[in-house]
Chains A and B, each alone.
Chain A
Amino acid sequence: MPAVETEVEIVNKYGLHARPAVLLVEAANRFGCKIEISNSSLSVDAKSIMSVMRLAAGKGTVLKIVAYGEDAEQAVREIVKLFADGFGEE
């Protein structure tokens, strides 16, 4: 199965702090596919909150999302939406 790739930008004021990280990880865990998120130096498993926090991604950071598996497309779409909505923060 081909990988689904895309890029997202963090629009939240405080970046990927605990609350958005939790939302992201919960969303990722709803899907069966493998999902990776990376910044310029690190690539981590989107289903692990510890890993996602390690990205220490602040506002304006651009992250790459790659998903492999059956529901990869759906997964990526949902995640992109989360980021675009700013995770529901102002």
Chain B
Amino acid sequence: MKIKKGIGVSPGVAIAPAVVLDIEEFDIPRRQVPSDMGQVEMRRLRKAVEVSRKELADLRERTAERVGKEVASIFDFHRGLLGDKELMGKFQDAVLQGHATAEYAVATVLRAYAKELQSMPAYLADRTKDIYDVEKRLLRNLLGEKRESLAHLTRDVNVLAHDLTPSQTAGIDRGHVRGLAMDAGGRTSHTAIVARALGIPAVVGLNDLTAEVGGGDVVIIDGDRGVVVVEPDTRTIREYKRFAEQQVELVHELEALRDLPAITLDGHEVTLLGNIEFPDEVGTVLDQGGQGIGLYRTEFLYLGGQKEEPGEDDQYRAYREVIDRCAGRPVVIRTLDLGADKYTQARARTPERNPFLGLRSIRFCLQNLPMFRRQIRAILRAGTAGPLSVMFPLITSILELRQAKSIVRDVAEDLEEEQIEHRADVPMGIMVETPSAALQGDALARESDFFSLGTNDLIQYTLAVDRGNERVATMFTAAHPAVLRLIKDVIRAGQRHGVPVSLCGEMAGDPQFTMLLLGLGLRVFSCTPLSIPRVKQVVRSVTVQDCTRLARKVMGFDSDREVLTCLALELRRALPGSLAD
């Protein structure tokens, strides 16, 4: 039994066998074989080695012809490795003595070797990627067509990986995935967001978890404590099962809140909305007491399928479904916010060196107007079915906003001319998620119908911390005074110009920040559906007067630590008991 500590990013406990994804989505199947199968495994392995060596010889020839001998010589290295007696000896030990499957033997032996290389001087450590390459080749030849895909699972599993790209999470079979555990990532990494949206436990930042777990190992993912237990003993399993039952009770408590209004003790109304990625999450938002959708992330339409780009009608159907399910409640659709991800990178002729600061999101859309137009058309057409607003992400300048708005107007005209029913004057707002937008709140407020604070990215750009980088994940916090000051400024700018401001980052669903945000003047929160009850409970237990006083105090602090300590204390005071953690 091994206990690994990471960052718990989505609450709950999941006990299930693991599916371990390799970088190329290889699922390394069962770790063990019965001892009489050892020779069979060795035969498989030897065959895979032969095939791989032949592939490499061919590859070397072709590369030498086309590119040059120097470059081709690296494949000699790969071949040499596969021909190394020591390597075969280690494979044999792992299979015959350790009863490992061929795949598991390959993975463990090669990774151990890679680890060895890493501590050597640079010119040797550089070869680590070659080791992984050889591993991939061998695995590919071993597994052939038998790759288990995330989208078609046949049993309940916990999924472990180095990291999941948005494309992979979009394809998850939600019926069978019980929990997620990643080597990489931080609190607001993509995996965290998706796990919370799906309501499954997740732990990230585990560093080298995938190197130590084999497919089929039972693992416990404890999203509350941020712990993963590999091959737990019976006592641990029993304890966790008991803990899981307690959690279920807590959930029932929160359900009772669903139909109660979100009003503070001194009578201030607060609007609680949900963030969604898929139309069928609307049900969850409403179940949890949400009053509408404050953020519909449309990226998953572009990532989930096999086609290049979803057609206008596919999009129309999705948007229409959301609006219909909301039955008259407000819906805010955010235009395509892709970037720094497989979608735009794969299509870029030369990959960007710094995709987060590159051609992504609205910038990408404004340079791909035909594609942007299709999305806007679908949105405007769907807008006949209910209240709908459009939100542009990553706006950093007023010209950008004007361009986007003029495109929307243009598209509306086209629809008018084609005599297709559409919503002609849809409200258009922006995500305020960059320091430049936050600092230009007044100018932008004059030309926007509403603001939504995208605190995930705002924190990232303001603190210059990559939220997906496990090495600096602890520096990423909403409680940093600089971030709080920008949030306050934006809320004030909105108030000055009569522009409603909402907050749709993960901060909105974190009960620790609710009082502070109320005190800064925020009245609209849009968060992951499962967080709505907790936030509502805070709202119903405080007065805006107290919150304002708290905000004034907190805004005087210099460090995030002071802020967090104060907020934790206040929360405990307001809500003694279950929800304070």
Give residues in A with beta carbon < 8 Å to B: 14-15, 17-19, 21-22, 25-26, 29, 45, 47-51, 53-54, 56, 58
For B121, what are the chain A residues with a Cβ–Cβ distance below 8 Å? Answer: 15, 56, 58
| Minimum CB–CB distance for A63 against chain B, Å | 15
Report yes or no: A18 in contact with B127, Cβ–Cβ below 8 A.
yes
Report yes or no: A18 in contact with B116, Cβ–Cβ below 8 A.
no
| Minimum CB–CB distance for B90 against chain A, Å | 9
A-B contact count (CB 8 A): 53
Report yes or no: B77 in contact with A49, Cβ–Cβ below 8 A.
yes
Q: Scan B433-456; emit 1 where CB is below 8 A from any A CB, else 0.
A: 000000000000000000000000
CA distance A26 to B60 in the complex (A): 15
Report yes or no: A14 in contact with B123, Cβ–Cβ below 8 A.
yes
Chain B contact residues: helix, strand, loop or mixed: helix
Q: List 20 A-B contacts (CB under 8 A).
A: A14-B123, A15-B123, A17-B123, A17-B124, A18-B74, A18-B127, A19-B73, A21-B80, A22-B76, A25-B80, A48-B85, A49-B77, A49-B81, A49-B83, A50-B81, A50-B86, A53-B124, A54-B120, A56-B121, A58-B121
The answer to whether the Cβ of B130 comes within 8 Å of any Cβ in the partner chain is: yes
Give residues in B with beta carbon < 8 Å to A: 73-74, 76-77, 80-81, 83-87, 113, 116-117, 120-121, 123-124, 127, 130
For B124, what are the chain A residues with a Cβ–Cβ distance below 8 Å? Answer: 17-18, 53, 56
Report yes or no: B80 in contact with A49, Cβ–Cβ below 8 A.
yes
Report yes or no: A53 in contact with B120, Cβ–Cβ below 8 A.
yes
CA distance A61 to B74 in the complex (A): 24
Report yes or no: A54 in contact with B116, Cβ–Cβ below 8 A.
yes
For A25, what are the chain B residues with a Cβ–Cβ distance below 8 Å? Answer: 80, 84
Report yes or no: B73 in contact with A22, Cβ–Cβ below 8 A.
yes
CA distance A21 to B123 in the complex (A): 12
| Minimum CB–CB distance for B111 against chain A, Å | 13
| Minimum CB–CB distance for B114 against chain A, Å | 11
Q: With contacts A50-B113, A56-B120 known, what are 17 further pairs, Cβ within 8 A?
A: A17-B123, A17-B124, A18-B77, A22-B77, A22-B80, A29-B83, A45-B86, A47-B85, A48-B84, A48-B86, A48-B87, A49-B77, A49-B80, A50-B86, A51-B84, A53-B127, A54-B116
For B81, what are the chain A residues with a Cβ–Cβ distance below 8 Å? Answer: 49-50
For B84, what are the chain A residues with a Cβ–Cβ distance below 8 Å? Answer: 25, 48-51
With beta carbons under 8 angstroms apart, the residue of A48, A51, A53 that contacts B117 is: A53
Instruction: Specify which of B116, B117, B123 lies most central, judged by the most chain A CB atoms within 10 Å of its CB.
Output: B123
For B120, what are the chain A residues with a Cβ–Cβ distance below 8 Å? Answer: 53-54, 56
For B76, what are the chain A residues with a Cβ–Cβ distance below 8 Å? Answer: 19, 22, 26
Residue of B nearest to A53 (CB): B124
| Minimum CB–CB distance for B14 against chain A, Å | 39
For B73, what are the chain A residues with a Cβ–Cβ distance below 8 Å? Answer: 19, 22
| Minimum CB–CB distance for A82 against chain B, Å | 15
CA distance A15 to B122 in the complex (A): 11
Residue of A nearest to B82 (CB): A49
For B86, what are the chain A residues with a Cβ–Cβ distance below 8 Å? Answer: 45, 48, 50-51
Report yes or no: A50 in contact with B87, Cβ–Cβ below 8 A.
yes
| Minimum CB–CB distance for B75 against chain A, Å | 10
CA distance A19 to B130 in the complex (A): 13
For B130, what are the chain A residues with a Cβ–Cβ distance below 8 Å? Answer: 18
Residue of A nearest to B119 (CB): A56
For A47, what are the chain B residues with a Cβ–Cβ distance below 8 Å? Answer: 85
| Minimum CB–CB distance for B287 against chain A, Å | 57
For B116, what are the chain A residues with a Cβ–Cβ distance below 8 Å? Answer: 54
CA distance A51 to B127 in the complex (A): 14
Residue of B nearest to A23 (CB): B76
For A18, what are the chain B residues with a Cβ–Cβ distance below 8 Å? Answer: 74, 77, 124, 127, 130
Report yes or no: A19 in contact with B80, Cβ–Cβ below 8 A.
no
CA distance A49 to B127 in the complex (A): 12
Residue of A nearest to B130 (CB): A18
CA distance A49 to B82 in the complex (A): 9
Residue of A nearest to B131 (CB): A50
| Minimum CB–CB distance for B376 against chain A, Å | 53
CA distance A25 to B85 in the complex (A): 11
| Minimum CB–CB distance for B61 against chain A, Å | 16
Residue of B nearest to A47 (CB): B85
